[in-house]
Structure 1
Amino acid sequence: MAVRRSALALVALLGLVVAGDALHCNCTNCEKTGYECETDGACMASTYYSQGKEQHVRICISRDNLVPPGQPFYCLSAEGLLNTHCCYSDYCNSIDLKVAVPTMAGWSGSGSSWGPVELVAVIAGPVFLLCVLLMVGVFLFQYQQRAYSHRQRLEMEDPSCEHLYLAKDKTLQDLIYDMSTSGSGSGLPLFVQRTVARTIVLQEIIGKGRFGEVWRGKWRGGDVAVKIFSSREERSWFREAEIYQTIMLRHENILGFIAADNKDNGTWTQLWLVSDYHEYGSLFDYLNRYSVTIEGMIKLALSAASGLAHLHMEILGTQGKPGIAHRDLKSKNILVKKNGMCAIADLGLAVRHESITDTIDIAPNQRVGTKRYMAPEVLDETINMKHFDSFKCADIYALGLVYWEIARRCNAGGEPPSNGFILLTSSVKHTHSIVLCSTGIHEEYQLPYYDLVPSDPSIEEMRKVVCDQKLRPNVPNWWQSYESLRVMGKIMRECWYANGAARLTALRIKKTLSQLSVEEDVKM
């Protein structure tokens, strides 16, 4: 019946339009026209309560205001009224409507129910809101889980075992021995890291950087280094702690990791990374203060290559290790141990390679490496970021620059030149001051490209020198007079090739320097 009435109403409306006859309706607001009005649309009746009385409204609705035309489910001109009725015959709006009473069945006092649009809106709205809240809840839960795993490491252990690690007679050396013989090579359990970190007494600042500060601390009578990150460097702290705890990473030529912890003092959060302490400091500091013998030069160079070779190497197996590239290798990120060997540090920019899935784990970190040590392919942005060997080749280029820094400070022996200085030959000629000492001659310490770029060069300045002009640090001719310096110079050149694939590998460098070390021992 409803469909039939709708069809009849539509036919009636179309008939009015075709015939050009107007529809006559009752009009409660049309005093001048005898409470009547004419329209090309529909007559409308409505009722509502006002000041405790039932009010009736009868008006004309133009055809433009019918939605949809013919049989509207909503009369636009009756907006805000609870009970409306549209019809399409003369004076059809003379009927008296009952005031709408809101019920669960609908808003019509005459028992009419909600239309399909209203029902969909009422049902779909809460369901949609519930789905949104559920999705937000799941996202927050997963985010918290990821953050927790980053902070607390991947493996958790039972704190009831703490006494096995932190017995009163345990020293720092004992803990390091436990770590190196535990089989995992990934550091101390979390609860031990926290206990160690929170019982360290800071002594003095020994360095500052863009990440924060480095302190010398005391734990059970032993010295430790505490790298304290600023809160804005939280990602770098996450990343470095994560890399240091990689399975099988521990090596004598990689800085020994001890603990990571976040300490909240009520005002701000300190992010701690605790490692072995080396009193000589960085290789940069060491070379500024001391010259080295040929034996010392080889020991520094060989140990740096050994650490980098272990970092680059992938160890297969369930207790294996992924290949790791440093990405910020320089003399300031290499420490000098008491025995004259190097330990590679600062792994905050390192990337890991998973050979099974052939994926490179690059951290979401905005930091870039040090411009002075960037390889040509990094400077001109031609490096293949999807190929892990590209990152290893960039490390080798930087290692060659570090070797140049070391070799310059080598006491080669022999007689100094009579004029007190040496003229070095290369594509650009420079004079270098010579330091005279009882054991021989050596040059003053300088950073790579010190004579070609400013103290804080831009990427564009480095790109112009390294990529466009294809210049490299000068290798003096007089190094050819000494076998060890000649070999070092040859290694440097083979680390600096513009084509990364043509450069030596860390393992090849390690083998060459091992052989050189044996030859020097035979001479002595």
Structure 2
Amino acid sequence: MAQCSILVLLLLAPKAFRCGAEDKDNPSRFQCVCEGNSCGRPVCYGQACFASVIQNGEVPVYRKGCFNGEDQSGMMCKTSPSENQVVHCCNGDLCNRNITAMPLLSQAPKGEPIEYSVEMLIIVVVSTVIVLIVLSLVAVLICRKIHQNRMQRLHARDAENGAIDGLIASNVGDSTLADMLDHSCTSGSGSGLPFLVQRTVARQITLMECVGKGRYGEVWRGQWQGESVAVKIFSSRDEKSWFRETEIYNTVLLRHENILGFIASDMTSRNSSTQLWLITHYHENGSLYDYLQRNTVDTVVCLNFALSIANGLVHLHNEIFGTEGKPAIAHRDLKSKNILVKKNLHCCIADLGLAVMHSQTNNQLDVGNNPKVGTKRYMAPEVLEESIQVDCFDAYKRVDIWAFGLVLWEVTRRTFSNGIAEEYKPPFYDLVPNDPSFEDMRKIVCVEQQRPNIPNRWFSDPTLSALAKLMKECWYQNPSARLTALRIKKTLGKISNSLEKVKMDC
């Protein structure tokens, strides 16, 4: 502000000395040198002479002249020099003639660097630490409040079912899980045990051994009243998958011999942390992925595997209408690790944490709120290209068909003919790394349009040759050209019947 005032007054100074030029015989005024754009004459007359320089941007502005009024000269001449402007005043005729303007700014005092004291630094550090501690405490309190709200919602849900733990526990009594599940199905619910029975069963389970681990958490073999059960313990960051799977498993009429049997779900506080449990039937053979690594199979078992998986997929994909019906469901993460092998060497589909539901009654598509999109190795081309119609339920069913074709390829590789079977390998094992990226899979499947290799030996066996043709019809680049789950089931039935006729003829 001061610099602007000085600049204005210096610009006005020539007008002042032009007025003073008429008073050149006045002994109280001095003759001064006048230099600058506004000077009309080489000399002026005033109360004092001056020489100045003002740093206006990168170019300094130099002036010489005179001050006409005492107030004006007093204010300007008493202004302290700075690194941006300097005014030098003198009294006497032509006293400003020999003042060199260039060195004026170099004589002005420069700004001093700010020095921080040790005390100031300590105050800043301590204040920062205190703020971080306070924020951490607030975060802990918020987390505890969220946990309390979860538990309250769980208790409220139990209360809505109109029962108390003691009464339900007495009802459970010495019943087996099969008894209770049969009762729940015949009593009309068709979706599993009542919530309070689920919680009672969950809290009576003893964990025996860990039988599997994954990104979702762990799977344990547990025991309830002498019966083995599988306990899937979700990590806290995967709560959405636990909630979604619980929601879908409690769907009416979801129970099916080729869908993993659901027993109970429980959110409970153990060891001062929230644990999310999903309790299902236990199958000691483990996943299809594990089984194929340990064993080869014959064509009969191969077809059992394929037909049972197709049966489960048909049940999921089809909507059952009526008050005791079920919505249509697409799995979205079908793979050999999410399929279990039962004692009778049939399969059941598991892990519905990413499933999508659709009901024709209200044409509502329920995709849940889980941001995950499945396993990259098993992703269909439209998922990798991000061109899938996300508002079309049939698009999700076609994604399942693509994955089914890959699972069928895994099983068929381990099926021996003429005493030969390939070692277990995952789909695209020879084309992408062990943990392929999204871009790795997109390049192979979408750009190069490659498919898993079909060994030559399959074409010498009628069953394996028919399966090779079937899986290729699941792998069309165009999703709408792929087979439906029902068509796959019927085709597999025909292949199985042909195999039986061959054996009877032999």
Change (3 A) 1:463 1:153: farther
Residues 456-504 of structure 1 show CA distances to partners (whole Å, capped at 9, x for unaligned) of 1111110100001000001123212111111110110000000111100
Match of 1:522 among 496, 501, 506: 501
Q: Scaled by the length of structure 1, what TM-score is found?
A: 0.65
Residues 170-222 of structure 1 show CA distances to partners (whole Å, capped at 9, x for unaligned) of 11222233344333221100110011000000000000111111000001111
Equivalent in the alignment of 1:213: 218
**If each structure's helix is expressed as a fraction of its own residues, which one has the higher value?**
2
Secondary structure, in 3 states, of the residue corresponding to 1:406? helix
Match of 2:439 among 446, 457, 460: 460
Structure 1 position 469 matched with structure 2 position 448: yes
Deviation at 1:339, TM superposition (A): 0.4
Residues 229-283 of structure 1 show CA distances to partners (whole Å, capped at 9, x for unaligned) of 1122111111111011111101000000000011212510111000000001000
Structure 1 position 444 matched with structure 2 position 427: no
CA-atom RMSD in angstroms: 2.4
Q: How far apart in 2 are the matches of 1:514 and 1:175?
A: 33
Q: Scaled by the length of structure 2, what TM-score is found?
A: 0.67
Q: How far apart in 2 are the matches of 1:164 and 1:319?
A: 28
Change (3 A) 1:145 1:315: farther
Change (3 A) 1:146 1:376: farther
Counterparts of 1:322-341 in structure 2, within 5 Å, are 322-341=327-346
Change (3 A) 1:297 1:166: same
Match of 2:173 among 167, 180, 188: 167
Q: How far apart in 2 are the matches of 1:220 and 1:252?
A: 23
Indicate the structure (1 or 2) with the bigger Cα radius of gyration. Answer: 2
Equivalent in the alignment of 1:491: 470
Q: How far apart in 1 are the matches of 2:274 and 2:225?
A: 25
Deviation at 1:347, TM superposition (A): 0.3
Residues 331-369 of structure 1 show CA distances to partners (whole Å, capped at 9, x for unaligned) of 000000000011100000001012122221111112220
Structure 1 position 306 matched with structure 2 position 311: yes
More displaced, 177-186 or 244-253?
A: 177-186
Deviation at 1:153, TM superposition (A): 8.7
Counterparts of 1:115-514 in structure 2, within 5 Å, are 148=153, 152=157, 156-159=161-164, 162=168, 165-168=171-174, 170-412=175-417, 414=418, 440-514=419-493
Q: Contact 2:151–2:268 at 8 Å: present in 1 too?
A: no
Change (3 A) 1:286 1:266: closer
Q: How far apart in 1 are the matches of 2:156 and 2:454?
A: 46
Change (3 A) 1:155 1:380: farther
Q: How far apart in 2 are the matches of 1:505 and 1:226?
A: 33
Secondary structure, in 3 states, of the residue corresponding to 1:228? strand
Q: Contact 1:237–1:271 at 8 Å: present in 2 too?
A: yes
Deviation at 1:152, TM superposition (A): 4.2
Secondary structure, in 3 states, of the residue corresponding to 1:397? helix
Runs of 5+ unmatched residues, structure 2:
1-144
Q: Contact 1:212–1:227 at 8 Å: present in 2 too?
A: yes
Q: How far apart in 2 are the matches of 1:404 and 1:396?
A: 13
Q: How far apart in 1 are the matches of 2:257 and 2:274?
A: 32
Runs of 5+ unmatched residues, structure 1:
1-139, 415-439
Deviation at 1:163, TM superposition (A): 6.3
Secondary structure, in 3 states, of the residue corresponding to 2:254? coil
Change (3 A) 1:148 1:360: farther
Secondary structure, in 3 states, of the residue corresponding to 1:443? coil
Q: How far apart in 2 are the matches of 1:263 and 1:450?
A: 41
Q: How far apart in 2 are the matches of 1:155 and 1:443?
A: 55
Change (3 A) 1:364 1:277: same
Q: How many residues align?
A: 357
Q: Contact 1:205–1:215 at 8 Å: present in 2 too?
A: yes
Q: Contact 1:188–1:259 at 8 Å: present in 2 too?
A: yes
Runs of 4+ with deviation above 4 angstroms: 144-147, 149-155
